[in-house]
Amino acid sequence: MLALDARSELVAFSLALAHFAREVRVGEEKRVLLVLDGAGYHTGKGVEIPEGVEFELQPAYSPELQPAEHLWPLTDEGIANRLFTDLREMEEALAKRCIALAEQPQLIRSATLFHWWPQTA
């Protein structure tokens, strides 16, 4: 994985926002509220926020508001306490673990579906 410096993270996030805004066609007529954690590249002064996109930041240290945070222990299980000869080998192990998790929706639900989380049809 390529590590980015702070400026590159801001640029990458700004590009992702611009792409998102185009895809969902936000602007003067359509507005979108994005709920984000407080990562520096979400809140940095260099972030270019497209017209029609607004941010709401989650409170600090609130993983219960972001169920995906509870997936890390499940994905780490496939690579923890192992020695890999190179990055490719680690990526393959992680990919296998993700495929195995995709076949276990109940396990994922048990880690991420909180009783208060909105249910969909």
% of the chain at pLDDT higher than 70: 94
Q: Are 38 and 55 within one domain?
A: yes
Q: Are 48 and 77 within one domain?
A: no
- Run of H or E residues at 75: helix 72-76
| Cα-only R_g, the chain | 18
CB burial of residue 33 (10 Å; 0-12, 13-18, 19+): exposed
**pTM of the predicted model over 0.85:** no
Q: Are 57 and 69 within one domain?
A: no
Q: Are 38 and 16 within one domain?
A: yes
Count of domains for the chain: 2
Q: Are 10 and 53 within one domain?
A: yes
Angle of helix 87-102 relative to helix 105-112, nearest 10 degrees?
Answer: 90
Domain range for 82 is 65-112
- Looking at the DSSP bridge assignments, the partners of residue 32 are 53
CA triplet 65, 101, 42: central angle to 5 degrees?
A: 35
Give the per-residue pLDDT at 57. 87
Q: Are 20 and 54 within one domain?
A: yes
Q: Are 16 and 52 within one domain?
A: yes
Look at residue 6 and tell me whether its pLDDT is greater than 80. no
